Structure formats: structure tokens, C-alpha cells
A and B are shown apart, each in its own frame.
Chain A
Amino acid sequence: MNASVWPNAGVANKPAVTEDALKIFTTLLLASVALIGGAGLSFGADKTEISVARFFGACEADYGNVTDVNKGYGECGIITAMMNKFNAESPDTHVKVDIVEWPGYDQLTARIRSGEPPTISVMHESVISDYQSRGLLEPLDDGLKAVGIVASDFTAAAKAGVIKDGKIFALPFDTHTWLWHINLNLFKQAGLIDSAGGAILPKSANELLAQAKQFKEKTGKPYFIMVLANETAAYTRTFDTLLYQQGADFFADPNKVKFASPEGKTALTLLKTLYDNGDITKNEDYSATVSGFAAGEGGVMINGTWLVNDYVVEAKKPGVPLSNGYAVAPFPQLYANPKVWADGHSWVILKANLTDAQRKSAYSFLKFLWDNDFQWARTGHLPASQKVIDSADFKALPFRSVLAPLSVNGTALPAAVRHQFGVQDIEGEEVASAMRGDKTIDAALADMEDRVNKLLQSK
């Protein structure tokens, strides 16, 4: 092994590398270098360019050239049309759109760390604290005021979402929250329809359990369709809603959570009872619940504002389980107050060495987004603008007048709580463990509290 393969090879008589071989080797190396040589695209324009990072997907095939926002449909269609319109109409600004995979925070953090952040990025309000607490976001108060936007224009939920330490750190775009999507046809079969033809919704936990029992007896189907597989967020949103409604201030200290409480036990006991009674569909992931509700598998699907339009369209089709039988309502008040989990999309300006022209362009774009908040509300999300919420146009959209109170009752975790996506995952995992019976309710609450507190201790 250690013997030289060139036993006779000294310095003087070591075989020489031939010219041909060198040529071949050099060619290969150059080919490799040529392949790995960088090449960039350049954007040539007279306008000031700003970059805007967003998720919501790409739909250029349908909306690549659409500048009439009224023709946009769904999150992707509306935001694409909006940005097309801005670029078409703005005399001095070009927005370069950087579309990222949802939610995009790994990539955003990497961009910030590598010194190449986008000028503007979309951001969940629950994530703002993570970036704001590290000094990565520009306060927007003065800039927004200069373009005519002030915090008093925001809805209560939006204000809570974007104002940190008394300053505005993001332009709110919407509030999205937890709804009950209701199959009225099955509710009718279950005898849970009032004289006006609307769904009779429970007003307490006991009423909910009684309704679920009645529903199953009359229809043979579970009352709830819930996302329980490959998911943590849905568990957390429902659990938090039940805590809020009981008035539990579980984040009284933003650095230390309290889940192991009577309210926590009550909420988890209710969810587990529904699960054990067979009142919730089992083992369904997100897409299974969405199609399951359309197929009439259960009475109520707990999901977000973003699905309203799709089911409105489905309910207009003849001969399907939802035909003329779809309604939607805020998560009903089961305890002392009507609060419901909420989050929101917002737009932030990342701290960077922006020129005056870039900063001016950034605020003109934010102003454009704000002026189009109604258009965005067509997605199903609730607008962040109080003026839009109060408008006749908004109330004329399907079910929006019923949902409008959520702009007040929608409740997020306190602004100072960091790592909210991580907190959401831990909560969801522990709620799932308790519902399945992998852990006792007390053990799940204790583990939830312990794990979240450990997370909050990290930087």
C-alpha cells in the first residue's frame, strides 16, 4: 500500500507530462470554468427600480399582461394584475417582482444576511416581531404620513398587527382569520336551520356537543371537517381561539407562556371530546378537507377567509352537495367573548442603503397597494382599511357584512412575542397529541408550555 508505484522515479527521471495531455486537461478545466462563470441579467430602464419580494404564487399565463385589477381572481391573479397596473401607470418607478415560495422567510433572512435584501417584502404580521426586534425593518410612520396614510385608517386588528413599540413597521394589507364554512344542505337535514333559513350555530361548548350529536344522528356524518394530518397551524388556530374566547391571557409575559391553566384544559378537553365522539373527520390533510367539504362529508369546515370565493362559486353549480347551500360565519362565540385567532399580510421596507429616489418609489408603491385594498379584499381576506370595511362595495361582496366584525374580534398573539411560527408548530403538535390520545391533556399542556418557553429563551 505504501510502496511507491514509481519505484525508480527520482526527480530527474520522473515521467514528463506530455503536451497533448496538457492540452486536453487544460481544455477540460477551461470548459468547467466556462460553465461555472457567472452571468447576470440586467434591467435597463429610465425609471427607478425597486424590488418587491412576495409569495402568492405565479400566474403569468393567465394574468401576465392584465392591468385591469377588476379582472384578477384569487390571490395570485389580483396581486399580479395590481403589480402590472402599477408598472404600467407609474411614471417614475418600476417594480421588479421577486416571487418566492410561501412563506419565504428562510430566503428573506438569507438575502438580508448576504446584504441583498429586497426593497419591500410581504410579511405575516405574526412574523414582524422577529425582524423588527433585530432592527431589520424601517419604521414607516413618516413615509406613510407623507403619502397620506395614517394609523387611524387601519382596522383594530391591523393596528395590533403592525404597530410595535408605538411605531408602524409595516403597511397592513389584510386580516385573515378563522371561519366556519357551513354546508346548509346538511344542516337542514340535521334540523339545525332557523326560520330565516340560516344555520343555527352553538352559543356554548355544551350546545356545540349537543348539536354535533344531533347532526351525526340525523345525517350519519361528522359535524366537523378539520385539517388533522400533516398540519400544525389549524390545531393552533382553533385552540388559541378557544383560549381567547375564555379570556385567557396566556402571553401576559411575552417571554413566558402559560398554557397549563384551567382555560387550556377546558379548550383541549372540548377538542378531544369532539374527536373521541367521532364528530371530526380523521386523518385528513388540508386538500382532503377542502375537497371533502365540497363533497358534503361534514357540516362545518373550520378554515380561513381565503376559501370563501371558491365555495361561493361551487354553491352556484347545480347538482353538487353545496348547491345553493353554502354559508360562512365567524368562529361562533362559545365562551365569554367573541375573539377569534387572526393574522394578516403586510408589507415591510427592509433596512438598506436606499437612495432618496428608491425610498420615494417604495412609498409610492405602498400607497398604491393601500389604495387597492378593496381589490385585495376580493380574495376573501378582510381589508386592513377601515374605510374599505365600511364601504358599500365591500359589504356587497358575498358574506362580507357577516364577516366584517372580525376586523375587530380578530386577535393575534401580542406583538412582542417572538418566534410565532415556531410557537404555532409546538402548540399544534401538542394539541394533536392530546386529541389522538398519545398524551394526557395535562401532559400535553405542560409539554406545550415547557417547549414554547424554551423556544422563547432562544435568540
Chain B
Amino acid sequence: MALAQHMVGRSLGDRVILGAVVALAALWIAPVAWVVIVSFKPNSELMMSTASALHPPYTLKNYTDVAATSGVFHWFLNSIIVAGGATTATLILASLAGYGFARTDFPFRNVLFVLVLLGLAVPEQALIIARHQLFTDWKLHNTYIALILPGLSNAFGVFLMTQYFRSIPKDIDEAAMLDNASRFKIFWRVLLPLTIPAQATLGIFTFLTYWNDYLWPLISATRPEMFTLTVGIASTQTNFAQSEGLGFLMAQAVFAGLPVFIVYLFFQRYIVQAVAGAAIR
């Protein structure tokens, strides 16, 4: 009905485009909808036929099973602490570094900036064994510090914030200086608020990266009480979960994905703004 209303009074070209967009959206949403539907089906039925997902009976048991797993809320809290802590720390560090590269002058600044950018080209997998060794020597495994620290050297964050600070006219700084504002005050009160879209983008990407991270927590947080949600829910899967526990598996996916969904829901405006802004610049 809503689609029909949108079609009224539109040109044929617009209708074709709108129809194509709706079809693509439906195509995108289909697997998500399938995950949700399957999560409400008994595992034993799904094992014998996944087509059974299209008709009753449905059940909440998969969700109550997720909730009944003793560690699940602790893992959830761990993920919140790790993703939240890392996001906060990344925003602080990347903002300070971005401001430094964009607005101050110091020896070897450009060389250092290039070195930071080179960090973008190094995949995590290339460093992970050396990093594990380092954290072993520091006796930091199975701590929140070990889960948060590695991602704080965020080359993308520094690059993003540097470019954003550079795009702000220096006249603003100079006007504030005439008002006798300190350097920190200019950074904190004048420039930082102007970078909110970039902060939001960086914050969301950082949060989601940490929330979804699997490999590093798998080998660093090896005690169940230190598992993050990704590692924790993976540990609860039976050996042949894809056939014997499909409904439970999907309920876990929905449970783990909800916070991410909520983050996107509340902050999508900032993501769109920042990406569009970056494109224009």
C-alpha cells in the first residue's frame, strides 16, 4: 500500500527506479528475515527440514536457552566494556593525534604522518603472533587491557580526524586566539564540536569493530569469564550446530546482533552525514 502511494504521480523512470530499490531492499532483508524466522523454530524440526521454518509450530525456547547460558550476560558485559572502552580511548587518542597533525608544527611531522598511514596497509593477521607473544611476556592475557590496547593504534582514526581538522578553516582558531583562548580550549570548545560527524563515524566503526572482533579475543581471552560475546556464543555451539542446533544458532546471531542494530538505528544519520561530507570534500 505504501509503495503504491509512492508510485502515484511519478514518472515511469522514477517508478522503475523505486521498484528496483524496493526489490534490492527485499533481497537484502530476505536473509535477515530468514535468520529471525528460523530462530523461532525447534531445532529438531529444522534438522530434518529447514522448510519447516515456513509454518508453525514456533517456539521461544532458543531464546530462553541463550538467556539460560550462565556466562552470556557476563560476556555481553565484557563486550560492552571492551567495545565501549576502546571507542572512548580511540576517540580521545585519534582526536588529539589528528589535531596535532593538522594544526601544529613539529619536526618530522609529515614523515610521522606517512608512517601512521602505512599502518593502514598492515593486516592484523600479520602481527597477531608477535602481539600474542608480547602480551604473554607482559602477562596481560585474560585482561580487559589486552582486549582493548591493540586497536588503539588506529591509523584510520588518526587519518580521518587529521583530514577533518584540516578541513576546518584556520580563521576559526585565530578568532578564538584573539579572544585569548588557550590552545586546549580552542581544541576542546571550538574545534572538537565541529568534528562531531567524524567522531560519530569513527566511534561507530570502532565500536562495531571491537564488538564483532573474534580472532584476537579467541586467543587472548581464553578463560570463559573473560570471553567476549562473539567468542562466548561460539563456544556454546554444538559440534554440528549447523544441522543439530540451527534455531539456537540463529537465536544467538539475533541476540549478538541486536546491539549493533541499535547502534546503527540511532547513529545512521551521522554515518550518512560523515560519509557524504567526506565525499564532498
Whether both chains belong to one complex is answered with yes
CB-defined interface of B160-204 with A at 8 Å, one 1/0 digit per residue? 000000000010010001000111110010000000000000000
Cβ-defined contact, A291 with B224, below 8 A = no
CB-defined interface of A22-65 with B at 8 Å, one 1/0 digit per residue? 10110011011001111111000000000000011111111010
CB contact under 8 A between A31 and B235, given known A106-B218, A110-B218: no
Chain B neighbourhood of A60, CB < 8 A: 68-70
Count B interface residues, CB 8 Å.
Answer: 66
Cβ-defined contact, B49 with A99, below 8 A = no
- Whether A459 is near chain B, meaning CB under 8 Å from some CB there, is no
- Whether A114 is near chain B, meaning CB under 8 Å from some CB there, is yes
Cβ-defined contact, B238 with A56, below 8 A = yes
Cβ-defined contact, B184 with A17, below 8 A = yes
Chain A neighbourhood of B133, CB < 8 A: 113
Bound complex: CA of A41 vs CA of B78, how far in Å?
A: 12
Looking at A75, A291, A314, A320, which has the most chain B CB atoms within 10 Å of its CB?
A291
CB-defined interface of A168-190 with B at 8 Å, one 1/0 digit per residue? 00000000000000000000000
Cβ-defined contact, A98 with B223, below 8 A = yes
Cβ-defined contact, A286 with B240, below 8 A = yes
Q: Which of A22, A35, A57, A114 contacts B236 (CB 8 A)?
A: A57
- Whether B239 is near chain A, meaning CB under 8 Å from some CB there, is yes
Chain B neighbourhood of A37, CB < 8 A: 144
- Whether B59 is near chain A, meaning CB under 8 Å from some CB there, is no
Binds A, one of B13-21, B85-93, B259-267, B270-278: B85-93
Q: Which of B85, B173, B239, B242 contacts A5 (CB 8 A)?
A: B173
Chain B neighbourhood of A29, CB < 8 A: 92
Cβ-defined contact, A286 with B242, below 8 A = yes
Give residues of chain A (1-33) contacting chain B, Cβ–Cβ below 8 Å: 1-6, 14-18, 21-22, 24-25, 28-29, 31-32
Bound complex: CA of A76 vs CA of B245, how far in Å?
A: 11
- Whether A436 is near chain B, meaning CB under 8 Å from some CB there, is no
Cβ-defined contact, B182 with A291, below 8 A = no
- Whether B158 is near chain A, meaning CB under 8 Å from some CB there, is no
Bound complex: CA of A429 vs CA of B237, how far in Å?
A: 26
Give residues of chain A (381-414) contacting chain B, Cβ–Cβ below 8 Å: none
Cβ-defined contact, B239 with A28, below 8 A = no
Q: Which of B84, B86, B184 contacts A18 (CB 8 A)?
A: B184
Cβ-defined contact, A17 with B49, below 8 A = no
CB-defined interface of B228-249 with A at 8 Å, one 1/0 digit per residue? 0001001111111111111000
Chain B neighbourhood of A40, CB < 8 A: 142, 225-226
Cβ-defined contact, A306 with B234, below 8 A = no
Cβ-defined contact, B88 with A290, below 8 A = no
Give residues of chain B (37-66) contacting chain A, Cβ–Cβ below 8 Å: 46-50, 61, 64-65
Chain B neighbourhood of A98, CB < 8 A: 222-224
- Whether A295 is near chain B, meaning CB under 8 Å from some CB there, is yes
CB contact under 8 A between A5 and B104, given known A15-B182, A35-B88, A286-B240: yes
Give residues of chain B (134-150) contacting chain A, Cβ–Cβ below 8 Å: 135-136, 141-145, 148-149
Bound complex: CA of A341 vs CA of B148, how far in Å?
A: 44
| A-side interface size class | 35 or more
- Whether A278 is near chain B, meaning CB under 8 Å from some CB there, is no
Q: Closest Cβ of chain A: how far from B225's Cβ, in Å?
A: 4
Cβ-defined contact, B68 with A114, below 8 A = no
Chain A neighbourhood of B235, CB < 8 A: 58, 99-101
Q: Closest Cβ of chain A: how far from B88's Cβ, in Å?
A: 5
- Whether B103 is near chain A, meaning CB under 8 Å from some CB there, is yes
- Whether A111 is near chain B, meaning CB under 8 Å from some CB there, is yes
Chain A neighbourhood of B170, CB < 8 A: 5
Closest to B81 in A: A35
Chain A neighbourhood of B245, CB < 8 A: 57
- Whether A287 is near chain B, meaning CB under 8 Å from some CB there, is yes
Cβ-defined contact, A32 with B92, below 8 A = yes
Cβ-defined contact, B47 with A21, below 8 A = no
- Whether A74 is near chain B, meaning CB under 8 Å from some CB there, is yes
Chain B neighbourhood of A166, CB < 8 A: none
| Chain B residues within CB distance 8 Å of chain A | 46-50, 61, 64-65, 68-70, 74, 81, 84-86, 88-89, 92, 103-105, 109-110, 132-133, 135-136, 141-145, 148-149, 170, 173, 177, 181-185, 188, 218-220, 222-226, 231, 234-246
Task: List 19 A-B pairs, Cβ < 8 Å.
Answer: A15-B182, A15-B183, A17-B183, A21-B184, A21-B185, A28-B88, A29-B92, A35-B85, A38-B143, A57-B237, A76-B238, A109-B219, A111-B222, A113-B133, A114-B136, A116-B223, A287-B242, A291-B49, A295-B48
**Given known contacts A57-B236, A64-B70, A291-B46, what 4 new A-B pairs fall within 8 Å (CB)?**
A36-B86, A36-B148, A40-B226, A286-B242
